[in-house]
Amino acid sequence: MEQLSSARSFLKMPVVKLFGSQFLAAVTLFLVIIPVYVSFEDTMPSLTVIFAIQGVVAATIGVFFGLAKWWAGIQIALPFAAFYSANLEIPGFVWLLLFALSVLVYWNSARDGIPLYLSNSTTWSALAQLLPEKEGIRFIDLGGGVGGTALFLARNRPDAHILSMESAPIPAMISRLRWKWSGLSNVEMRSADFWKENLAAYQVVYAFLSPVPMNRLYEKVKAEMKPGSLFISNSFDVEGIQADEVLELNDNRKTKLHLYRN
């Protein structure tokens, strides 16, 4: 049963959908589109046409697989980028270095399907409003990124204790440096895996992750958080569970904060 759910989680990962749709697009291109083109035109399409068709077909398959629409640009650019970058005379170690840097930043993307993207300042202000007006409130940002949310809340709510927990090495290092430079004493940036943290100590738990971990995270919230506490998920709801409240923010992306009260 657990293996089945791991397989499902694996298939839900955006990177798997990305390369899965590129693969299916290549199969469609070589088995269907190019033979049909050749039978009409009596010649092979140019490389630019081949790459453009590959990208557009992959983007269409990606949307069908549930990839967000903004991935379409990446899907279309990928065949061109792969081809032309292979022809650039860039030493191998540079690619290795770029790959290592990406791994250290997007540490949790491949395994857990949780990439790095950041909450905006409208969301920070909304979170500050949602913190209960009570001295000593404990707040945790699960997967705190580079620490922006935590620093904003710590500055705006000096009476609260704010923790940001991040396990990707480079974002964790950046958030720790920002913490040291901030001189704030009511905030902590911890380099750790939030799955290992007991949430019972927090009155407000915030997560901006991805659809992949939401059900597992909600089970953890229910098992550990105390009555009266609040779980806030930015953008991603818990499948099959009705949020107690959904706040739509007045920013460009119309951010939705899903509020679950315990």
| Contact footprint for ligand SAM (CB under 6 A) | 107-108, 112, 114, 116-119, 141, 143-145, 148-149, 165-168, 171, 193-195, 208-209
Smallest distance from ligand SAM to CB 243, Å: 18
| Amino acid found at 133 | E
Q: Say whether 9 sits in a helix, a strand or coil.
A: helix
Smallest distance from ligand SAM to CB 109, Å: 8
Going by C-beta distance under 8 Å and a sequence separation of 6 or more, which residues neighbour residue 175?
144, 145, 146, 147, 150, 164, 166, 189
Q: Say whether 218 sits in a helix, a strand or coil.
A: helix
Nearer Cβ to ligand SAM (208/260): 208
Nearer Cβ to ligand SAM (79/113): 113
Going by C-beta distance under 8 Å and a sequence separation of 6 or more, which residues neighbour residue 127?
119, 149, 153, 206, 232, 257
Nearer Cβ to ligand SAM (54/123): 123
Smallest distance from ligand SAM to CB 145, Å: 3
Nearer Cβ to ligand SAM (76/141): 141
Smallest distance from ligand SAM to CB 42, Å: 50
Look at residues 125, 108, 132 and name the one whose alpha carbon lies nearest to residue 195.
Answer: 108
Smallest distance from ligand SAM to CB 60, Å: 26
Q: Which residue number has the CB closest to ligand SAM?
A: 143
Nearer Cβ to ligand SAM (44/68): 68
Look at residues 138, 221, 226, 72 and name the one whose alpha carbon lies nearest to residue 258.
Answer: 221
Cβ-in-10-Å burial (0-12, 13-18, 19+) of 104 comes to middle
Q: Helical H runs in the chain?
A: 2-12, 14-28, 34-41, 47-64, 71-87, 92-105, 109-112, 121-130, 148-156, 169-182, 214-224
Smallest distance from ligand SAM to CB 133, Å: 23
34 token code pair:
């190019």
Nearer Cβ to ligand SAM (50/172): 172
